[in-house]
Amino acid sequence: MSNVISIINLKGGVGKTTITVALAEFLAVEHQKRVLVIDLDPQTNSTVALIGEEEWELRNQNSQTLHALFKDHIDDTYTFEIDKSIVRKASNLRGGLDNLHLLPSSLDFVKIQDRLINIWQTALIRPFDVLKNAVQNHLDNYDFVLIDCPPNLGIVTQNGLNISNWYLIPTIPDHLSTYGIPQIISSVKNFNRKKADGEVKLLGVVASMYRSTVNRHNATLRQLELQVQQGQLTRLFETKVPLASRAADATYYEVDGINTLKQKYGNAGDHLYASFQSLAEEFLTYVKI
């Protein structure tokens, strides 16, 4: 069975997409895993990071994005075809990785977000079952499915949680970024009551954009550790993703001739390569296949 992990936080800009893309690439390259990234975020960031804007536009015109899937359910049309929509060679590493696939998002998603609730009225399925119906026969082709979610717990994110067995919360270790974590945990608990096939469980919290010299970051990490000890959190990942200027470059697709992860993520002063390497290794000790 495939392991499906939703990457979520209510807070925007905490590193969800950067961690999703890096984890996908490290699992695919350093561990030879078969990985599917599902981009559920209308911002389309992991899509553009993994296939570039040109390819995205082409696919968007041909209804080969998740926008088309959801729009079909709202308008009662049949434009989306899952087989044609999965990109079977994603990432700019070595000109594309055969074992890293992508189900792309679309900026057009923004236009239909307010209408998603109408799925209830036109289709015979629940609004959070749309993605499941489309992808369930494909999930077993992968060792890991990573879902990049938008920064909210709306219907689109619920579609991700509905096919997941784990969720992972990246956070900057500061007050505002961690503020919503209890809310996420209780919302997911409520969602589990509606979920048909097994609970989605918290895999853990990952510190992102960490600066060891910032007292506030270290104090927040101590608080999170305390919550783990008190049983409120499953775990805080030992690996912390450092604040690193290279992180922004790594999500820029239009760079040719990138052959290694070390080249892509860099291992200068901020050790971004080494921390993503360690994050993938730690991840694999918790999510065994």
Ligand X SMILES: Nc1ncnc2c1ncn2[C@@H]1O[C@H](COP(=O)(O)OP(=O)(O)OP(=O)(O)O)[C@@H](O)[C@H]1O
Residues that bind ligand X (CB under 6 A): 12-18, 41, 43, 45, 151, 208-209, 241, 243-244, 247-248, 251
State how far Cα 204 lies from the chain centre.
14
Nearer to ligand X, 152 or 227 (CB): 152
Whether the CB-CB separation of 146 and 5 falls below 8 Å is answered with: yes
Candidate segments 44-52, 93-101, 112-120, 255-263, binder of Mg ion by CB under 5 A = 44-52
Considering the rule CB under 5 A, would residue 71 count as an interface residue with Mg ion?
no
Smallest distance, ligand X to C-beta of residue 15, A: 4
Binding footprint of Mg ion, residue count (CB under 5 A): 3
Considering the rule CB under 5 A, would residue 33 count as an interface residue with Mg ion?
no
Smallest distance, ligand X to C-beta of residue 170, A: 7
Q: How far apart are the first and last CA of the chain?
A: 8
Per DSSP, helices labelled H in the chain are 16-30, 45-61, 66-75, 82-85, 109-112, 119-122, 130-135, 155-162, 175-178, 181-194, 215-229, 246-250, 261-265, 272-286
d(CA 274, CA 289): 23
Task: Give which of ligand X, Mg ion, none residue 133 binds (C-beta under 5 to 8 Å, depending on kind).
Answer: none
Considering the rule CB under 5 A, would residue 277 count as an interface residue with Mg ion?
no
Q: Which of the 8 DSSP states describes residue 139?
A: G
Q: x/- site string to Mg ion, residues 45 to 64, per CB under 5 A? A: x-------------------
Considering the rule CB under 5 A, would residue 177 count as an interface residue with Mg ion?
no
Task: Give which of Mg ion, ligand X, none residue 130 binds (C-beta under 5 to 8 Å, depending on kind).
Answer: none
Nearer to ligand X, 16 or 264 (CB): 16
Whether the CB-CB separation of 258 and 93 falls below 8 Å is answered with: yes
Considering the rule CB under 5 A, would residue 16 count as an interface residue with Mg ion?
yes
d(CA 101, CA 92): 12
Task: Give which of ligand X, Mg ion, none residue 151 binds (C-beta under 5 to 8 Å, depending on kind).
Answer: ligand X
